[in-house]
Amino acid sequence: MNLNTSFTGRDSLVTQLAVGNGNSPANELVSSGFFNSWGVPFTDQGAGTPNNVVVRELFYSFPIGDAVQVDIGPRLNYYRYFDGNRFTFFQTGASSFNSSGSTLLSAIDRGSGIVIRWKIIDPLQLTVGYLAENAEFLNPALGFNTSSNPGDGLFNSSNIITAQLAFSPSRNFNLRLLYARSSLKPYNGFIGGAVGEPVPYGYIDDGFGGFLNDSGADTLMANFDWQIADWIGLFARYSWGRVDVNPVAREEGRQVRVQSFQVGLGFPDLFKRGALGVISFLIPHDYLAGEQFLLSGGGDGGTQAELEVSYRYPVSDNISLVPAFYAIWNANNFDSNPTVYVGNLRFQFSF
C-alpha cells in the first residue's frame, strides 16, 4: 500500500507499507548463504517478519528547478531508480528475481540515503545515488550491519554509490550504462548478501575458512530495451563485477570476478491491448576468477542457466493474471543438481 502526501503540489512524501508470509518452495536447492538465487518469483516472498506490516519504503521527493529531482529518506528502493527495463519490470513483464534485474549490480535492495536525477538534455538523464543498507528483512539486534544500527549508521554500514547514464533517443529505445561501487561489511566474518536476499557474489571467505575485513566491490553494467515494432521488442543485460577479498589473518588480498548475461523478447499487446508476453534467457553467475574463495556460489563447476516465459493478461484496469514458467539448469552452479521446473500463477490487483 502506497501512501503519497504532497505539501506544495510538486513534492511527495512516499510511505509504502507491506505485509506477507511467502517463502518460495523453489528454494529447495539452496547453498549456505545463497538463498533466493534461482527460479524464485519476485513476489513469492514475505515482508519482514511474516504477517507483520512493515514500512518497506519511506522517502521525500522534491524538484530543484525543472531538470533535477531529489529523493531522500531512511528507506529508498534501489530498483525504483536504477536498472529499469520496459520488458522486465516485475509487475508487467518478466517476474523472477533473476529476470527482473541484474544479478550482480547491488546487494542492497533498500537503504537510507539520497538519489538525484538530472535531465541533462534530451535524450540524456543522469541518476546518482548513495544508499546505506536498511531493508525490512534485516534486524540490527541480530548482528546485521544496517544504517538503523547506531553502531554502523549511515556511513559505516554496507553501502553503495551508483551512477546511471540513460540514453533515450526515442520512445522505442532506451540504453542504460551503470557503474556501482559497494562497501560490504562482513556478516559472521564472511562477505555476502543478507540472509533471505539474492547474493550477487556468492558467500566469500579467505580461501581457508578464515574471516574477512570490509571489502569493496565494483560493478559495470549495460542494459537496453528496444521495441522494434508494435508487436515485438528486444532486451538484454550484461554485468561484470569484482569483489575484493581482504583476509583478517593474512595480508595478501585477491578478487572474485563474475559476469552475467541476459537476453529476451517482449511481445506487447499480445492477444489483448495492455498485455505483455516475455521470454527471458539468462546466466546469472558465471565466475571468471576467485572460485577458491567461495563458501557457496561456485557449486561443483556447473554454470546456472534460466529460461522464463511469462504473460501478463489484463482482465480489467484493476485485475491482471500473470502465469509464468521457469526452467533452471545447474541450480546454484551445481552440475549435480537436477533441472528444475517452476510454474507460477499470479492474480494481481491494483486499486
User: What CATH number is given to the structural domain containing 330?
Assistant: 2.40.160
What is the bridge-based pairing of β-strands 294-296 and 276-289? unpaired
Task: Find, among 260, 261, 265, 273, the residue nearest to 225 by Cα.
Answer: 265
What single string gives the DSSP state of each residue in 36-50? S-SS-BTTSEE-SST
Sign of CA dihedral 182, 46, 265, 320: negative
Nine cell digits for residue 46: 514475505
**Continuous segment of H or E residues that includes residue 98:** helix 97-100
DSSP-based three-state secondary structure for 221 = strand
Residues 285/130/212/298 CA torsion (nearest 10 deg): 0
Residue 114 corresponds to which cell in the numbers above? 539520497
Please, are residues 4 and 307 in contact by the beta-carbon 8 Å criterion? no
With H, G, I as helix, E, B as strand and everything else as coil, classify residue 152: coil
* Nine cell digits for residue 182: 559497494
N-to-C CA span, the chain: 9
Of 156, 155, 37, which is closest to residue 104 (Cα–Cα)?
37
pLDDT at 251: 65
As a whole number of Å, the CA-based R_g of the chain is 20
pLDDT of residue 209: 80
Give the phi and the psi of residue 349 in degrees, each rounded to 5.
Answer: -115, 135
| CB atoms closer than 10 angstroms to residue 3 | 10
Residue type, 51: N
Q: E-assigned strands of 171-248?
A: 173-184, 191-192, 203-204, 215-229, 232-245
Helix (H, G, I), strand (E, B) or coil at 35: coil
Q: What's the pLDDT at 245? A: 87
All residue ranges of the chain with pLDDT < 50 are 194-199
Residue numbers of the domain that contains 111: 2-349
Q: How many domains does the chain have?
A: 1
